Amino acid sequence: MSDWKPIEELPPQSGDYLVLLGDGQMAVAYFDAWKTWVCSGVHATYDGCGSVAFDAALIQWQPLPAPPAQ
């Protein structure tokens, strides 16, 4: 069973999430309190306006997996 959700279905709370981009790449994005996705800088390009943007549109998201046990 897949945990991927369509990007139109918003996460329940702010935090880091794994996202799938339209070009097939995956990245970590932060979903903020204003209900917007913020680029982590991975798979991103400078947009010339003081921030970074994803190279391709976000199409799906899922919670990050738990970190490995120590």
pLDDT of residue 5: 97
| Average pLDDT in the chain | 81
pLDDT at 47: 53
0.85 surpassed by pTM:
no
The 26-31 sheet, strands edge to edge:
5-6, 58-63, 15-21, 26-31, 37-39
Q: What is the pLDDT of residues 34-59, one digit of tens each?
A: 898 887 655 445 555 445 567 788 99
- pLDDT score for 9: 96
Residue carrying the six token digits 């709370």: 13
pLDDT at 30: 87
Alpha-carbon Rg for the chain, nearest whole angstrom, is 12
The set of residues, in sequence order, having a beta carbon less than 8 Å from that of 16 and lying 6+ positions away, is 28, 29, 30, 31, 40, 64
Instruction: Give bridge partners of residue 52 from the DSSP assignment.
Output: 46
